[in-house]
Every structure is written in C-alpha cells, then in structure tokens.
Structure 1
C-alpha cells in the first residue's frame, strides 16, 4: 500500500483539530473532538476502501497478430474484469511494456460489480525487434486520495516487429544458366518449375505429386520428381561488422494521426533512423521480398553476434524466416563481410546471384566482388553511404570501381527513398530484371 502526500495533509489537519481542542475552552472542546472523530473515521474508511479496491480484478490483453512490420499500427485490446460484488470508482491502467510509443495506459472509471470495461490501444511501430507485451500495472485508491494500492499483472506474450520493407518493382536478377557446359542436376524435395521425371510412389509422398498417366500406363502409383535450378539461387549477404556501421542520435518517430486509426491494417511511411545498419537491414529485407515474390530460391547470411545462415528456399515461409532473423540482428559482429564471403562462397551454386549489402567503403569491397566473379557467381552490391551518418568519407569512389567490373551498384544515402534508390539507380545495361506481366 502506498501512502500519498495527501495523507500528510490529513495528519496535519487531524493534529491541528486536537491541538485546538486542547487550547480551547472546556465548553467548546466537544466540537473539536467530534471533528477529530470524523477525520479518524474518514481515515479508517479510506484504508479499508483502498485495501479492497483491487480484489477480484483481472486484466486481459489480446491482439490479433503478434508479428508486424515497422510502419504498421499495432492494435491491442485491454479488458478489465471486476469479479467482485463491489464497484470500482476508478482504476489507473499503466502499460509497462518497452514498446516505443506505447499507448496502452489509461484511467477507467465506474466499473460496476461483475462488469468489465475494455478499450483499444493503437501504437505506431517504429523499431524492429521483440517486445514483451507487459507487465501491466493497475492502481486504485480511496475517494479522498489518502492511500493507493498497486497490483502487477505479468504477461508472456511477445510482439515481433519485422524490419521496414518497400515493394520493389525491379532489381538486378539472376542471369539464368551459364552458357555452354552441362547443367548441374540436383533433386529437389519441393515442387519447382523443373520436372525431372517420374518414379514409383513411396510412403510419405504427397498425393498431389501423383502422375496419373504414368500410373495408368505402368499399373502402379507413379509420382513426379523435380530438380532445382542450379543457377537461379539468390543469396543476400548482410554486413553486420561492428566497426563498419555508424549511427547518430535521434528522436523516435511517433506521429500517429487520429484519422489513421480507422483504416486498419494501415502502414505508415516511417522515416528510417540515422543508422547505416537500419538502412542495410531494410534494404536486405526488401530485396529478399522482391526475389521471393518472383518465385526465386533465396538464401540469407549475416555474421552478427553469431552466424545467421538460412539455406536458399522458395516461398512465403522462407521470407518469414529471413524477416524474423533480420528483426533481431544487431551490428555487433566480429567477422567482416569479406570473411563471410570466403566462408560461404564455396557453398553457393555456381551462377547464383549474390547481393552484398554493406556500409563499408574500403578496397575490400572490390576484392569481394573479384572473389565472387572468379567463382562464377553474379555479385550485386548495395552500398550505404556513411557520409551522412557521421563519417567524413563517401562511397562514391568505391561504387565507381565496382562498376568497372560490370557489377550493378546501388548507392543509398541518408534520407533517400529506399524504393527509389534500389529501383532507379543506374545499373549496367541489361542487368535489371522486372517481374513477368500477367499472361507472359
């Protein structure tokens, strides 16, 4: 129980009454004593009222989804249930979550016995990561403000905020199979556009893969086999080296207008913080999303506090894996991008596209491009210019050197539109691929 400052005023008033009774004439003391008894009664009633103010109370927090992106509005429902036979004059709900821009705190009044009150909080998501939706503190007290009581409600629900993404319409894509030579044949456990033949049905094979014409001809169940396209993989390598990425102090963006509440789900264009790694993460997520929507097999690798490696696969599930890893990445890695390339290049199929996303502007980037090309890989470089993030050097010179290798380079500067920078940058002629149109 908390004793408020009002209680000190109450004690001074009570002491003054009894002091006045002591100093007054005997025939007038009964008046002061009655006032004193009344004040004591008020104190006792306030104490009992406060002690019972939070009994039989429950609070429930619920939300439709627990995975959203930066720029979206997170909606959460708070429900306060009064299971007691006594009404509640007022309750203060305090949201103690570490979610930036939280809006769950509110004062609720006049909850009758066996009734409930509910309200919605809408928070603009401005920071990626994982946030515990709680705890929630409920406090109440007596009508005179002498005492207060608090009760903490723990929570185990977590909100995962995925990085900000833009929808790209074009970006350098895989160039397909290498001219000449024999294509590498590798069987695939998933359905791909490349059929390899048929084989006899085995327990566990999906019924959707049964080839009915072959089954009828051979008089036994036959299923289709698929193989991977050896030259269509796309790998996104994100540089998370601690000494490369720069950041400036900033005020979190929290401008949520009332009219935005009525259009849900709603995505607000949130400016990225002045942090090269945040630009890099958003660029990597946008590129992965673009290739996944094109039906490509996409892999991801980054060396942050630990090596994060996602083998190349297709589909929305693969995109979810990449975005979830990006949500937790921090620029605290010890392995430079060149070391990551040397460690992973041998595991990547020849002819695959490798997208390098980094804020580095050293000569090692030219060496990294040369290593990839010597291993028959197709590099694409996305550079985050550190000059607008507290560095005195620019990435213009490195970008020009990389372009001399006939490698597409996108240079992103601070406050640039991410979509425009990734789409409208001048790439080498013939290197920009656009998604196929309907009917093509």
Structure 2
C-alpha cells in the first residue's frame, strides 16, 4: 500500500511552528484539528489495509473484439465505511467503464463489473487492480493487487470453405463431394434417373414426381493435409527494405487469419491436419481439437531477420509425405530458391497449393476495391506470376492473392 501525506506533513510542521512562537487558544485549536486529521489518517489506513481484493475473468480465452466481463470483488473487513475509486490497469485500453466509485459499508462485500476486449491476438497481461482513497484533509491512499491471470486472445478467422485437398485415400464415415467411395448410410440428395442401378430408384418420390428419381449418396475419401505458414521474410528479399519490413507485419496477421480459417473448416470435417508455423521459432501441431491449433496460432510471431528457412523445413518434411497428402504453403513471397523444393515435394504428394499474399485479402463483408493489380504489386511480386506458369506446368498451384480478393474467391480459383 502507498500513501501521499506530503501536504499533511507540511501543515503539521507549520502548525507546530506557529504554536512554538505564537501560542494561543487559536493555535491550540489548530493543533487539535491537525491531531484529528492524523487520527483519521491512521484510521483510514487501517481500513484500506484490511480490504480484500479478489478478481475473476469471465473467459481466459477469447477471440479478437469479443467482449467479456472482468469482475472485481472488494470486501471491507473493518468497522468503518469508506468511499473508494477502483481502477483496473491502464494496460487495458479497451475497458468500460475506466473506473468506478464504490462505498463499502462495514463488513460489506461488493462485486464490480468491467467489460473488456482486445483488438489483437496473443497472450495478454491484465496488469493490476488499484483502489484509491483521497480526501481534502491532505492525504491519499493507494492499494494495488497484481492480477496473475492472463487472457489468451485467439486469432480472427474468416469463414470460408476450403475443399481443395486431394482426395485419394478411402476412409469410411468421411464425407466429401468426390465420387470415390459412396457412403450408403447417408442420402445427400434425390435426382432424376440417369442410367443408375435400379436399386437406387426411390419409388415413392418417383410416383410423386411422375418420373424416375434416384438416391444420391455422399462420398468419402481423403488424405492428410500439411500446412506450412512462413511468417518471416524469405531469403532473397531485401530485408532492410522499408516496404517489405512494414508489409511483413500486415501480412503476418492476414496469413494467420487465412490459416485459422482453413484449420477451422478442416477440423470441422475431421480432416487430419499437420500445421507448421515458421516465425521466431518453429511451431508444430497435429490435434483433433481446432482450439489447440488456435492456441498455437495466437502465440506465433514472425521476424524480419530470422534464421529459420522455409526451404530447409520443407526438405526435412518431404520424407514423411505420401501420395495421398495435400501440401498448403502460405508465404509473403516466393523466391527462385524454393522452386526446386516445391517440385520435389510435388513428386511426393498429390497436390501442392501455394498462397502468396503480400497485401492480405478482402474480408467477405467488405466491398470490392477499384484497384489494378499491376499497379499495386511490386516488381518482385509481378515476376512471381511469370514463375507461377512454370509451377502450374508441374501441377503446383500458385495464387498471388490481391487485397481485392476474398478467401472464398481465392479458394474457388484453385
């Protein structure tokens, strides 16, 4: 606990000095008043020392911009009431209200509710709780409590259906729109007869429509998906260039949004997904729970001068790939050095998809931009489009994502 009594000390020094040199009934009254103030000081000090401060967070995991409650509990264990100003940490810039005044009766326990949210992903400190008592009598008190809990802010994701994985391996109970193995336990649709086996005909519906109608079943097949997300500046890019240094930070957030979107959709389909994020460190995860992927994504940060090399990571993973697998790579740029690794990887798997997004992408709810890609993309990115022709010839799908493209539009073009 801290307190401010500089003014009270000065008043006391002046009062004693006056009594020494000009003693009278009035100066004696002044001393009595100062004595009462000092008595009130120690009384309030004892009250605040005995106030219990507790806290509780409605969520310890939340999405960006998600509002949740930060609850503070105060209990007055003394025999006197007190008026306090309660303020959460100034680390919480998105908190309403900023502070609250509360009067605590003797023995009373009160709950205060603050609403907080965060605008960026990551592990967030809550800071401390501060209670303050001040008076016109010349002293103030502060008491603080450090909040030991942290909030994990999960990355934002844009709902978009990614159905571009290669479907080769036959697995029962997995739904897909590729007719490799039909799941006869799940009727997906009814359609008009077109040379299907007779046991497919639904006679009741055929009678209703007065033409032959057949059952259309869902289909199952899939391989594993390997995702490599490079948050760093690749070798070959002028890393001291201000443009690339600034764009990398913007790219990082969009790349992780796209990653979270693909992960969420894939795990809802129970797809096997191996995620590798290259940043200040290499993070790997393979799980049945999409939240665990989001935990990893939330704590991932790239670097402008990282020693972690995408080419080396791809090379280390190639021996574990099979022909049923699909590889997805997200990067801010592709250099000439990575092309041989992409071709080698394509020889091991069914499909390689590369998303290059130096400027991010358009959110679905936002309107189209009036932009010319030739004008906004730098020379390095425009040259990449020429290399993409060579890669497409080797069945490596490369998409240079424009800020005018939505994720859905990008995925549908693959």
Fold shared per TM-score above 0.5: yes
Contact 1:82 1:112 in 2 (8 A): yes
- Corresponding residue number in structure 1 for 2:291: 320
CA distance in 2, matches of 1:309, 1:230: 25
Q: Equivalents in 2 of 1:348, 1:140: separation in Å? A: 65
Aligned to 1:144: 137
Q: How large is the Cα RMSD of the aligned pairs?
A: 3.6
Structure 1, unpaired ranges of 5+: 178-182, 196-228, 250-272, 432-440
Deviations 1:205-252 (A, max 9, x none): xxxxxxxxxxxxxxxxxxxxxxxx885221211113366785549xxx
Say whether residues 1:129 and 2:122 are aligned partners. yes
Name the structure 2 match of 1:202: none
In structure 2, the residue corresponding to 1:395 is in which secondary structure? helix
Report if aligned partners of 1:55, 1:84 keep a CA contact under 8 Å in 2: no
Correspondence 1:77 to 2:71: yes
Q: Displacement of 1:361 after TM fit?
A: 3.5
User: 1:287 & 1:9 partners in 2: Cα distance?
Assistant: 62
Change in Cα spacing, 1:135 to 1:112, as seen in structure 2 (3 Å) is same
1:40 partnered with 2:35: yes
Change (3 A) 1:111 1:247: farther
Alpha-carbon deviation of 1:145? 4.1
Q: Deviations over 1:142-190 (max 9, x none)?
A: 56241424242x4443321111111013x4512322xxxxx6x89x9xx
**Shift in Å, 1:13:** 4.1
> What is the aligned counterpart of 2:150 among 158, 165, 174?
158
Structure 1 residue 21 displacement after superposition: 5.4
CA distance in 2, matches of 1:398, 1:365: 12
TM-score normalised by length of structure 2: 0.71
Aligned residue runs from structure 1 range 289-368, under 5 A: 289-311=264-286, 315=288, 317=289, 319-332=290-303, 333-368=306-341
TM-score, reference length from structure 1:
0.67
Q: Distance in 2 between matches of 1:61 and 1:398?
A: 53
More divergent stretch after superposition (154-163 vs 390-399): 390-399
**For structure 1, which segment, 365-374 or 160-169, has the greater mean C-alpha deviation from structure 2 after superposition?**
365-374
Alignment of 1:4-403 (within 5 A): 4=4, 7-17=5-15, 29-46=24-41, 48-95=42-89, 98=91, 101-103=94-96, 106-141=99-134, 144-152=137-145, 154-169=146-161, 171=162, 173-177=164-168, 231-241=222-232, 246-248=244-246, 274-311=249-286, 315=288, 317=289, 319-332=290-303, 333-385=306-358, 393-403=379-389
- Point out where structure 2 has 5 or more consecutive residues left out of the alignment: 176-180, 183-219, 362-375
Q: Higher relative contact order at CA 8 Å, sep ≥6: structure 1 or structure 2?
A: 1
Q: How many residues align?
A: 346
- Within the candidate set 399, 422, 432, 2:407 is matched to 422
Structure 1 residues 147 and 49: alpha-carbon distance in aligned structure 2, compared to 1, 3 A threshold: farther
How far has the Cα of 1:376 moved from its partner?
3.0
* 2: CA distance, partners of 1:89 / 1:53: 11
